[in-house]
Structures are given as C-alpha cells and as structure tokens.
C-alpha cells in the first residue's frame, strides 16, 4: 500500500525541468537489506527526476552487524549509498563520540548537526549543507535530541572528562540560526533532518515543538520515536504549515519526498518489501557483510522452548514498561555472573526478541547489541528503593530505564508513582522486606552503574568488581552452567517479580 499526501507550497517563478525526489530513512538500526531496495528505487527514478538520499539517524547500532564491527560494516555499506546528507541519531553515540567521529569521517556524505559541540565550543559537524538540483537549492539542516547527552552520557567523556555537549537549552535557537543562514544563501527549500521524535520528554523538545518554535522550515524528516507518520501538518511560529514525516524503523518503509515542478510537495511512505528494484552493487556489499557476520554469529549457544520477549504484539517495547521473561533471564544472569544478591538491567538494553529453538550467538547480539560491560556494585537499600521508584515513574509510558530485576520483587503504583512491598530474596528461597539501612551487592551493567542509566542513582556507589566482558557474553555461561544448556519452564513467562497497579 502506498501512503501518500499531496501538499501545496508557493510556486516558484522559474519552473525547473525536473522534479526533485528525496528518498529518506530513519532508525534503520542495522536492518541492512533495505539499503539495496532504497538504492534500487533511486536508480529507477534517476532518469526522470533529480534524486537525493538522506538519513535522519540511528544507522550504526541496533543489531549484530553494528555490534560485531563497532559500526565498521555499516560505514562500508553507507559509502556505497552516496547520501546527499545525514544527521546523527542518539545511537550513533553508543560507541562514544571519538569512535563516532572516526566512523563518520569515513563516509562520503556530509553529517549535518547543529547541536554537538566539543569542550572548546566548536561544532563537531557542519550545521547544514545546501545542494543544487537544476535551478533550485535545497538545504538540509540536522539536529539530534538533546536527551542523548543524558541517556548516553558516557559517550561524551574521554579520559574521565566531559569533552562534548549538546547545548540543549539553545537547540531551538541553533536550528533557527541555521535556517536563517541557508535562507540568506538562497535556499528554495529547507528540510530539517531531525532525530527528535514525537514522544514528549520533559526538557527536550519534540519535532513538533521545534516546528512550533521556529519559522522557515518546509519539511521535517523525523526519527527517534519509530512512528509511522505519512504526514503531520504543524503550524510554525508564524502560523505557516510545516510537514512532518517518519518512516517507522528497520526499513519498514522508504520515505519519498517530491518537490514538484509546480511548487507542490508530495510525500509517500513506500513499504520496503514492495519495492521491486534492487541495486546490484549495494546488494553485493550486503551479501559480503552477511557472510562475514554469519561466520561469527551462526554458532548455537543454547536452546529455548520459549520466545524471549522484548516487544509486544503492538511492536512496543514491553521490556520498557513491564517485566518480561527476557528481562528476568538477563537480570538473573547478571546476578549469577558476579555472585551478587540482586541483579538489575534497564529495559532499554534489551532490543529484540529471540524466537524459540536453537539460539545462536547472533540472535543474542541482536537482543543485547550494546557495548555494556558487567559490573558488581554495592548500594544501600535506600538507593535501591529510590532507583525502583524513579525508574517506574513514567508508567504507563515506555522508559528505557524501566528495571528488569532479579533477587527482588516489588509493586509499582501508576496513579501516584510509588513503589511498595519491596522484598529481597533470601538464601532459603523466602522473601524479606528490604532494609533501607542495609547494603546489598548488585550485578548490573556499567551503563546502569555509572554511565547515565537508572537516573545516575548508583553513580557514586562502591564498585566491587568490573570486567571487560560484554553483557551479551554471559548469557551462554549462565544457561549452560546453571540450566545445562536449555532454558527451564520457569522462563516460559515473566515470573511475577514486578506487579503493576
């Protein structure tokens, strides 16, 4: 099904010979097969229109292709695509800003971002690029959510010192400044490549908020919240309509923006699986990457008769708003691996389901793709209680900080954002109310301990043990050593550790 909208814009006096077609993606998250289709669609259009490719971020991480190569395979592929402009997503920061810069410097496409600065106050990337198609100029301005500086705070530090910032309070002004500059330079159209999303988070504007606070933008190609938006119309600061669109995620759709000869704008979302064209050169690179990745990931490491759940039937991250069996398994493995009393993992660290049957290393990487290391810390009961309350207060909305737990059970109340009935598992299998004055050992990941997760509540806790072992690499030892290589029936469903009322 073709999702389309035809929208009026002022007609230019000089009518160009051909329309301008801008194909766009967002939140691909390593679903690399779609690139061959997108490039094939570009090739099919190329003789009849000026064609551009752009991306609104989150391409370096989200699956085993990114995780195994720390983004290197993705960059190899993106070089074959010849994008006209790209912006950053929050997951471009997963490997740290120095690695991000190393990777993006290898691209043959400009990265545009108005709001990433180094410690000396210099922009890391250009804020915009202006492309000429026939007799018209199109400016691409880039912006990424300032929430990244909180959620991926570790990425902004080098040698223990904060080296980068996003100037979140100035985001609107920075975007407006860039828009004003490109208009002064004669841009006929201004396209905002936005990785801001549509989910309201206090202190961080959405793409709709950005439109309402600015003027001079024609279209926002958005990302971050994984919405499928054919076209929203939002009034800007001067009451003029601006069009906002998103393709979903993982190449569910390829976006198509047409700047027509008569001055109209047309927007479509084309389901990627309905694109009949494939670029052979891009396909060869993808096949080569799959061969290299398969050599690492095809090894079977355990067996499961139960689907390990990260997402629900609505394609929402269940693991970010409720206990799931995947969360139970990860938290149990963390507790076991460092011999701790409690195990905690944030729901945002679990990205994909694992189907029933023999489970390969690649499937585990897909579920746990980040470079999170295992740590053992010591925290007070008071800190644990504060963490549980803070990390469940967004319910019923999704939150990447929602805790998946082991060795503890509790009830969270949505109406007043309180947590009650918090009990800790004892060695005899019974439960005992948590003691706020006692200290507890916790197995978790470095992100949750001191790199920005769990609202930094554990940031100053004593670190009893740290390792260079990734959290995905302790699932197999836990299952093989404790459960003889096969998940027991206890993991068929969530185990009732978290009650939500």
pLDDT tens for each residue of 298-308: 999 999 999 99
∠ CA 439-445-450 to the nearest 5 degrees? Answer: 70
* Angstrom distances, CA of residue 291 to CA of 3, 35, 125, 331: 34, 17, 33, 32
What digits encode the pLDDT tens for the residues 276-289?
999 999 999 999 99
Residue positions counted in the chain: 501
In angstroms, rounded to a whole number, what is the distance separating the alpha carbons of residues 476 and 479? 5
Does the pLDDT at position 68 exceed 80? Answer: yes
Give CA 473 to chain center in angstroms.
21
Q: Mean pLDDT throughout 385-405?
A: 96
Tokens of 258: 């047409």
Neighbours of 92 (CB within 10 A): 29
Q: What DSSP line would sit under 234-297, residue for residue?
A: EE-TTS-EEEEEEE-STTSEEEEEEE-TTS-EEEEEEEGGG-----HHHHHHHHHHHHHHHHHH
Q: Residue 13 has what pLDDT? A: 41
Q: Mean pLDDT throughout 147-153?
A: 85
In angstroms, rounded to a whole number, what is the distance separating the alpha carbons of residues 390 and 477? 32
Q: Using 50, 70 and 90 to split pLDDT, how confident is the model at 370? A: confident
Collapsing DSSP to helix, strand or coil, 193 comes out as: strand
SS3 content of the chain, % helix, strand, coil (to 5): 30, 30, 40
Q: Using 50, 70 and 90 to split pLDDT, how confident is the model at 2? A: very low
Q: Using 50, 70 and 90 to split pLDDT, how confident is the model at 89? A: very high
Q: Mean pLDDT throughout 83-92?
A: 97
In angstroms, rounded to a whole number, what is the distance separating the alpha carbons of residues 138 and 50? 11
Q: Which residue has the higher pLDDT, 11 or 206?
A: 206
Whole-structure pTM value:
0.76
Does the pLDDT at position 10 exceed 80? Answer: no
Q: Are 422 and 432 spatial neighbours (Cβ–Cβ below 8 Å)?
A: no
Percent of the chain at pLDDT > 90 equals: 84
Q: Are 174 and 125 spatial neighbours (Cβ–Cβ below 8 Å)?
A: no
What digits encode the pLDDT tens for the residues 110-145?
999 999 999 999 999 999 999 999 999 999 999 999
Cis peptide bond prior to 396, omega within 30° of 0: yes
* Angstrom distances, CA of residue 375 to CA of 186, 289, 331, 450, 472: 54, 32, 12, 10, 13
Strand ranges of the sheet holding 498-500, from the earlier edge strand across to the other edge? 431-433, 418-425, 408-413, 498-500
∠ CA 352-358-360 to the nearest 5 degrees? Answer: 55
Q: Residue 101 has what pLDDT? A: 96
Alpha helix segments (H runs only) across 391-486: 446-450, 475-483
Mean pLDDT for the chain? 93
Handedness of CA 244, 250, 252, 254 (dihedral sign): positive
In angstroms, rounded to a whole number, what is the distance separating the alpha carbons of residues 418 and 286? 48
Does the pLDDT at position 73 exceed 50? Answer: yes
* CATH 3.60.21.10 residue ranges for the chain: 3-292
In angstroms, rounded to a whole number, what is the distance separating the alpha carbons of residues 124 and 113? 8
Least confident of 184-193, 254-263, 364-373, 390-399: 364-373
Q: Residue 6 has what pLDDT? A: 42
Q: What CATH class does 3-292 carry?
A: alpha beta
- DSSP character for 320? G
Residue 31: phi and psi, rounded to 5, are -80, 70
In angstroms, rounded to a whole number, what is the distance separating the alpha carbons of residues 238 and 217? 11
In angstroms, rounded to a whole number, what is the distance separating the alpha carbons of residues 34 and 369? 20
In angstroms, rounded to a whole number, what is the distance separating the alpha carbons of residues 226 and 58? 10
In angstroms, rounded to a whole number, what is the distance separating the alpha carbons of residues 332 and 337? 9
Does the pLDDT at position 11 exceed 70? Answer: no
Q: Residue 140 has what pLDDT? A: 98
Q: Residue 63 has what pLDDT? A: 82
In angstroms, rounded to a whole number, what is the distance separating the alpha carbons of residues 134 and 286? 32
Q: What is the dihedral of CA 78, 80, 82, 88, to 10 degrees?
A: 0
Tokens of 441: 């050992």
Q: Residue 8 has what pLDDT? A: 44
Neighbours of 246 (CB within 10 A): 29
What digits encode the pLDDT tens for the residues 33-67?
999 999 999 999 998 999 999 999 999 988 889 98
Q: Residue 51 has what pLDDT? A: 98
Q: Mean pLDDT throughout 314-335?
A: 96
Q: What is the dihedral of CA 87, 89, 95, 97, to 10 degrees?
A: 50
Rounded to 10°, the helix 475-483/325-337 angle is 80
Rounded to 10°, the helix 280-297/33-45 angle is 180
In angstroms, rounded to a whole number, what is the distance separating the alpha carbons of residues 320 and 349? 9
Q: Residue 238 has what pLDDT? A: 97
Q: Are 151 and 452 spatial neighbours (Cβ–Cβ below 8 Å)?
A: yes
Q: Residue 7 has what pLDDT? A: 47
* CATH 3.90.780.10 residue ranges for the chain: 298-500
In angstroms, rounded to a whole number, what is the distance separating the alpha carbons of residues 327 and 306? 13
Q: Using 50, 70 and 90 to split pLDDT, how confident is the model at 153? A: confident
Query: Which fold would CATH assign to domain 298-500?
Result: 5'-nucleotidase;  domain 2 (3.90.780)
Q: Residue 296 has what pLDDT? A: 87
Q: Using 50, 70 and 90 to split pLDDT, how confident is the model at 95? A: confident
């Amino acid at each position: 099904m073709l999702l389309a909208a035809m929208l009026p814009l002022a007609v230019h006096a000089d009518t160009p010979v051909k329309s301008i077609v801008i194909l766009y993606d967002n939140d691909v998250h390593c679903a690399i097969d779609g690139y061959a289709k997108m490039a094939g669609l570009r090739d099919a259009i190329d003789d009849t229109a000026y064609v551009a490719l752009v991306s609104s971020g989150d391409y370096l991480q989200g699956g085993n292709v990114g995780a195994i190569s720390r983004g290197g395979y993705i960059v190899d592929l993106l070089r074959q695509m010849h994008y006209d402009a790209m912006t950053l997503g929050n997951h471009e920061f997963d490997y740290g800003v120095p690695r991000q810069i190393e990777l993006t410097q290898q691209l043959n496409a400009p990265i545009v971002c108005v709001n990433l600065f180094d410690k000396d106050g210099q922009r890391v990337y250009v804020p915009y690029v202006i492309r000429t198609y026939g007799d018209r100029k199109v400016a691409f301005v880039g912006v990424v959510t300032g929430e990244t500086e909180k959620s991926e705070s570790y990425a902004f530090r080098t040698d223990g010192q904060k080296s980068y910032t996003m100037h979140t309070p100035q985001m609107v002004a920075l975007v407006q400044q860039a828009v004003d500059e490109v208009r002064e330079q004669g841009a006929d159209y201004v396209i905002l490549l936005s990785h801001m999303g549509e989910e309201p988070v206090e202190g961080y504007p959405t793409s709709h908020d950005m439109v309402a606070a600015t003027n001079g933008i024609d279209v926002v190609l958005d990302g971050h919240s994984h919405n499928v938006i054919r076209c929203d119309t939002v009034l800007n600061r001067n009451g003029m309509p601006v069009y906002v669109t998103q393709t979903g995620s993982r190449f569910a759709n390829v976006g198509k923006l047409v700047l027509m000869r008569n001055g109209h704008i047309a927007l479509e979302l084309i389901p990627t699986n309905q694109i009949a064209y494939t670029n052979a050169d891009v396909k060869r690179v993808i096949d080569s990457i799959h061969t290299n990745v398969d050599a690492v990931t095809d090894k079977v490491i355990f067996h499961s008769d139960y689907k390990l759940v990260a997402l629900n039937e609505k394609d929402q991250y269940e693991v970010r708003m409720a206990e799931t069996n995947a969360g139970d398994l990860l938290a149990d493995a963390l507790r076991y691996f460092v011999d701790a009393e409690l195990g905690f993992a944030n729901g945002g660290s679990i990205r994909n389901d694992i189907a029933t049957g023999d489970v390969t290393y690649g499937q585990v990487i897909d579920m746990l793709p980040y470079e999170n290391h295992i740590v053992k810390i010591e925290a007070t009961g008071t800190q644990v209680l504060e963490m549980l309350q803070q990390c469940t207060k967004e319910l019923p909305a999704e939150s990447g900080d929602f805790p998946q737990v082991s060795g503890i059970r509790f009830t969270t109340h949505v109406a007043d954002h309180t947590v009650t009935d918090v009990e800790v598992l004892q060695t005899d299998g019974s439960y005992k109310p948590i003691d706020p004055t006692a200290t507890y050992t916790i197995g978790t990941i470095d992100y949750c301990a001191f790199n920005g997760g769990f609202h930094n509540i554990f940031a100053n806790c004593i670190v009893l043990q740290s390792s260079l072992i990734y959290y995905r690499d302790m699932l197999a030892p836990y299952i093989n050593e404790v459960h003889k290589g096969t998940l027991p029936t206890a993991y068929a469903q969530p185990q009732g550790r978290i009650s939500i009322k």
